[in-house]
Structure 1
Amino acid sequence: MSNPVKGAERSPSGKVPVVVVAGGGTAGHIEPALALADAVMRLRPDAKVIALGTERGLENKLVPARGYPLELIPPVPLPRKPTPELLRLPLKVRDSVRQTREVLARVGADVVVGFGGYVALPAYLAARGRTPIVVHEANQSPGLANKVGARFAARVAVAVPGTPLPKAEVVGIPLRRSITSLDRAALRAEARKFFDLDPDAPTLLVFGGSQGAQSINSAVSGAAKELAEAGVGVLHAHGPKNTLVVQEFPGKPAYVPVPYLERMDLAYAAADVVLCRSGAMTAAEVSAVGLPAVFVPLPHGNGEQATNARPAVDAGAAFLVPDAELTPAKVAELVVPLITDPERVTKMSEAAVGMGHREADETLAKIVLEAAGA
């Protein structure tokens, strides 16, 4: 257990709080968990935070990079609906729960915080009746793991009103302080230089989630000529498993393809407009930094990405384009006139200011520490 930091606030019992976060799989689960972890450490520098994950998840890269220990457990496949097999704990679930329970006992967990997905479910089942549970749900339509976890959680935090979970408290989505405190204008020159972008050209940021999105890749790269002729630079994260070959146009602003954006703060600072999916975390971050957006919701699932985009669209800070309608022609028709109109960009950016819950990370951290008895 970590040594207490001199002068740190202590719990009434004097115990150092041990917080276990379960948010593996995609960046949409991992990043809010890490933002919470950072907030816990700001409030309680003597705390110990451990992340749960699986061998196949993106957490294997993101968690160690942020300085937190990662404990690996077997993944649990999640059916879309509760089934008798799930409730009877089949062999795979039982094995994962057993190993997770061993981890919780070994690290001395005082609270388990789940963010949904195939890492959260075994964490909830392992902690049930032994360790206090806090659930955070980012989407208005909860997934199966959080529906299960909320039944026996001490506290349930949600991002938006109307989320159908018992005891739901609206706190927003925990975001990294590097995002919520981002001064895009002050970092613009540094960010453009970091990505080898034109220092002065209007710049479009493009990404399709942590794994990329083929429809977005094809549509935007297919409009490279129109973007170049309009004097628009592009920073395009195409996904680590995808490749993107884009024609160069000498004398025009660069179109810069990258597999993955390690520095999202600099990517946001470099951009004037963003075209991206509208996962809950992405929509929250884009609004928090005041970027005008063209949201292209994932066409699968239960429509939660369109729901995530709606507040920004209604506020005049974003457009929504269905995935099936995103073509090179649509990019040329919608994005080029927008990004080359500074007055319009400024107006949309101002509309995004004040949206969301910028203190969600510390609000949730206080709930978690209270549940831990700290």
Structure 2
Amino acid sequence: MNRVTQMFAFSKRNPDLPLMGAAYATTQPEIMPFAYGFPAPQAFPVEAFQEAAHSALLLEGTRALQYTGGPGQKQVVSWIIERTPLRGMEAGLHQILVTTGSMQAIDMATRVLTDEGDDVWVESPSFFGTIRSFITNGLNIRSFPIDDEGLCVEELEAALQDAKRLGEKLPKLLYVMPHYQNPSGITLSVERRKKLAELALHYDFYILEDDAYVELNFSGDYIPSIYSFAPERVVYISTFSKILAPGIRLGWAIADSEVIERMKLFKPDGLTSVFVQEVVGQMLQKMDFSAHIKRLNEMYRVRRDVMIAELRRVFGDGITFQVPDGGFFLWVRFPEGVNTTDMLTHALECGVSFLDGQNFYLTGIDGTRYARLCYTYCDEASIIKGVAALHEASIRCRCPQ
């Protein structure tokens, strides 16, 4: 029998976009992977995981492997509650939701706070993963520039004033990464945090505060979250991926209890991996977390400094970037004549990868001279080798082939 297969009409929520993100990264041993937004393999507390997993099975095995889980869930939430005062925050049990990574928290909050066709505003550049989540949720996205103090709040306020005066739609949501922004590495100033909180309250929109990198803080100083200034209009989101291991897929959201209850309706998997929470709960009770974070920050500070020194030595004044005080990334601007998208193929041929800037803008033309370089994954020797390869790739990109 001959079958005639007709073209199936897939959901309009499936945009024609290539797969991107750490989960889809391919490993090529000969390539220095500056493209990876990965923590260092040496950062993983493997022995602590082994001991915690053994304890979880020995002490709570039957409960931890059941749908409802064991006491580890309460231990994880208790740790989050105890840690939040560092950001000027207070949160109760009913204001916290543990999720399958921070991206699930972002997606669920977006579903709760917006409808298809609503407006959402973002930084420019911004994290491509969240932009894609907004696209699949059918939202209209508008971007606003950043400078060395973060999001340009004056421009955002002027746009809000204009929209209200003209009777146009106001945003339902503003997405901000306040610490060591991905990709720029910039930290939002306290004054601008306060102003954003005021604007959210005055114009009645929510802020998604994605604070994934907050613990990777090379100065040791903590500044208040946006949430601390307007808890009734902010959903605060963070993750264990950058500080323990991304493979455990644990993140969390802090928000008003009504928002959290509504978010649970969009969590079809029920409770987030209760066995993983049991293991992490055991770890957080027993490990010296402050010492662990100190070790991570010392390692990453050294790697950042090596990358900066090599970039300046090899490229001289040919490139520019702002030195981040923490996080994973350097955001490098190349000189006139270098298109970083065109440079990708040359870079792979030379033995290094990076993410070209167009991935972080709503229109690709805005990022054609930028590259995001991750300094956390590679060791110092690999960073030096990778920067040399990057320089060779930039020369090839500018020379006629």
* TM surpasses 0.5: no
Q: Which has the higher contact order (CA 8 A, sep 6+)?
A: 2
Structure number with higher helix proportion: 2
